[in-house]
Structure formats: structure tokens, C-alpha cells
A and B are shown apart, each in its own frame.
Chain A
Amino acid sequence: QKEVEQNSGPLSVPEGAIASLNCTYSDRGSQSFFWYRQYSGKSPELIMSIYSNGDKEDGRFTAQLNKASQYVSLLIRDSQPSDSATYLCAVNDYKLSFGAGTTVTVRA
């Protein structure tokens, strides 16, 4: 079983809609969870971190963590064409492990 798994993409959403990205992790003891955005040809950029159950909001981004279900999600509200990128879920215990990523395309 992979350490971090993301729902398969690609995901296409119209401008202004909500993009929903999901991620599950295998180690029930994991404590630190992150979402990265990666534009084509660029290095990943940290956009959200979450450490406790519940929701965390930052601008148009909301991260949700459910440790009982071993589930992390990212919502992008009012999606913009500039949000078109690959989104990577990550878990950092003693090492930083990534999911395969979900490519999001926002249609104008």
C-alpha cells in the first residue's frame, strides 16, 4: 500500500466553481499534512499545512483533516485559471512522502 494516495485526475472545473481534491494516507500515527501546488516545469510550492482534525482556511483554500478516516482534502473556492496546476498531497513524519498528484484545469 502506498503511503499517500490521491484521487485520480485530471480534474476539470469551470471558472468560479469549487475544486475538491482528496488524499488518504496509510500510517495512522501521521501528524503533519501538507498540500503543494506545482506549475508545469516548476518546483512544488507549499500552499497549506494542517496538523489537527477539522478545517483550516487560507484565502480561497480550505484544507480538511480527518485522522480517524486517514483522509485529507483540499477545496479551492472560486477557482481561477491561475489555479490550473498539479496539486500534491504530502505527509511528513520522519520523511516527507508525496502522493502522485492531481492535475487541475480551470476552464475560463
Chain B
Amino acid sequence: SQTIHQWPATLVQPVGSPLSLECTVEGTSNPNLYWYRQAAGRGLQLLFYSVGIGQISSEVPQNLSASRPQDRQFILSSKKLLLSDSGFYLCAWSSMDKRAFFGQGTRLTVV
């Protein structure tokens, strides 16, 4: 069966510090991968999606970037965090039938 791992579950980082969130998927190959951010009480904002290794599409211009160094690994990064980067970050994968499944999420607080 397929599983998705996302870590850490919670993170507190100072303004201006770097960020690296990692997501890995097991039990499938060539999944579509997604990063979302959800501000408190708000909907899901699509940040990046990837249909293959090295193929990243950005939805919202901001100080975040994403990389897919391996088929089932998706990384969200920032060189310098802003207060506005606080939120609930979610990684998801989808397969051929377009159903998508989420990781447990990372709650990021920038202080």
C-alpha cells in the first residue's frame, strides 16, 4: 500500500532563517506531487506541483522554492523565512486515477 511521510510535524523558526520540509511517498512510482499551504481558518493554497523528477510548476510567486531530486521525494525550501510564511504546510501525492492523499502536515510558526 502507498504511504506518504512528511516531517517535521511542528516547527518554530525565527524570521530570516532557512527552511527545508521534506515529503516522501512509498509504494508507488511516478506520482504527481503537491505542496500546499493553509493559513489559519483558510483554504488550501497550491504552492507547487510536480509531474516528474526535476519538473516543478510554481503557482504563487513568493520566497519559497521546491525541488524533486528523486521520483518520490519532494522538498520545500526557503532561504529566508518571513512572518507571513507561517501556516500549515501539506504535501500530497496523486496517482493515475487522480485521487490525491495527504501527509500529516507541518505546522510552521515563524517568530
Q: How far is the CB of A107 from chain B (nearest CB, A)?
A: 21
Q: Is the CB of A88 within 8 A of B44?
A: yes
A99 to B42, CA, bound (A): 10
Across the two chains, which residue of chain B brings its CB closest to A33?
Answer: B98
**Contact yes or no, A43 B90, CB < 8 A:** yes
Given contacts A43-B90, A96-B34, whether A88 and B43 have CB atoms under 8 Å apart is yes
Are B100 and A43 in contact, CB atoms less than 8 angstroms apart?
no
Interface positions of A from 56 to 74, Cβ below 8 Å from B: none
A46 / chain B contacts, CB cutoff of 8 Å: 99-101
The answer for the CA separation of A44 and B91 in the assembled complex, in Å, is: 11
Distance in angstroms from B110 CB to nearest chain A CB is 18
- As a 0/1 sequence over residues 10 to 36 of chain B, the CB contacts with chain A under 8 angstroms (1 = contact) are 000000000000000000000010101
- The size bracket of the interface on A is 20 to 34
Minimum CB distance partner of A96 in chain B: B100
With a cutoff of 8 Å between Cβ atoms, the chain A residues found around residue B90 in the complex are 43-44
Q: Which residue of B lies closest to A49 (CB)?
A: B99
Q: Are B43 and A96 in contact (CB under 8 A)?
A: no
Once the chains bind, are A101 and B94 in contact (CB under 8 Å)? no
Nearest CB of chain B from residue A1's CB, rounded to whole Å: 16
> Bound complex: CA of A18 vs CA of B13, how far in Å?
44
The answer, yes or no, to whether B49 is at the interface (CB within 8 Å) is yes
Cβ B49 vs Cβ A95 within 8 A: yes
The answer to whether A44 and B49 touch across the interface, beta carbons within 8 angstroms, is: no
25 A–B contacts from the bound complex (CB under 8 Å): A31-B98, A32-B97, A32-B98, A34-B99, A42-B105, A43-B104, A44-B90, A49-B97, A49-B99, A88-B44, A92-B99, A94-B51, A95-B46, A95-B57, A96-B32, A96-B46, A96-B92, A96-B94, A96-B100, A97-B46, A98-B43, A98-B44, A99-B43, A100-B42, A100-B43
Query: Which 7 residue pairs of A and B lie closest in terms of their CB atoms, listed nearest first?
Result: A32-B98, A100-B43, A92-B98, A43-B102, A98-B44, A43-B105, A95-B49
Using A88-B43, A96-B34 as known contacts, list a sample of 15 further A-B pairs with CB atoms less than 8 Å apart, ordered by residue number in A: A32-B98, A42-B105, A43-B90, A43-B102, A44-B102, A45-B102, A49-B99, A92-B94, A96-B32, A96-B94, A97-B46, A98-B36, A100-B42, A100-B43, A101-B44
